[in-house]
Amino acid sequence: MKADFHPEYKESVIQCSCGAVIQTRSTSPDMRVGICSSCHPFFTGEQRFVDTAGRVDKFTQRYGSAKARRVAPKPSAVAEEPAKPAEAVAEATEATEATEATEATEAAAEASS
């Protein structure tokens, strides 16, 4: 092995934003972290949101809360036909009218011959 090749492995302090201090060993002398095992929702069991610019509120207003979605009744087994947009209805009507006009023109041409 080469001498003086590996970084120095020394005592290190990790400080979390919640105030927890963890003593360990590392190649970095001191570290600051935003979340640790003392405050992470997976380990604490509590749910906390870090709301940036009201995104959580915006999501809740748009889609509702998870609790409200669980309580809502399930849709019936018979599904309704989805409503068609007005443009699709207009296009279908125009296509039907064009087909009927073509058929009427062909029938008139056959009758005259």
pLDDT tens, 63-113? 877 666 665 555 665 555 666 666 766 777 777 777 777 777 777 777 776
Is the whole model's pTM more than 0.75, yes or no?
A: no
Assess whether pLDDT exceeds 60 at residue 12. yes
Q: Which residue has the tokens 């003392």?
A: 38
Domain boundaries along the sequence of the chain? 8-72
**Of 8, 45, 46, whose CA–CA distance to 28 is shortest?**
8
d(CA 45, CA 49) in angstroms, rounded, equals 13
pLDDT at 108: 76
Q: Domain 8-72: give its CATH code.
A: 4.10.80.400
CA dihedral 87, 92, 95, 101 (to 10 degrees): -120
pLDDT at 105: 76
d(CA 111, CA 113) in angstroms, rounded, equals 6
- Reading phi first (left if > 0) and then psi (alpha if -120 to 50, else beta), residue 13 is in beta
pLDDT tens-digit map of 17-73: 888 898 999 998 888 888 887 887 666 767 665 656 677 778 888 887 766 666 555
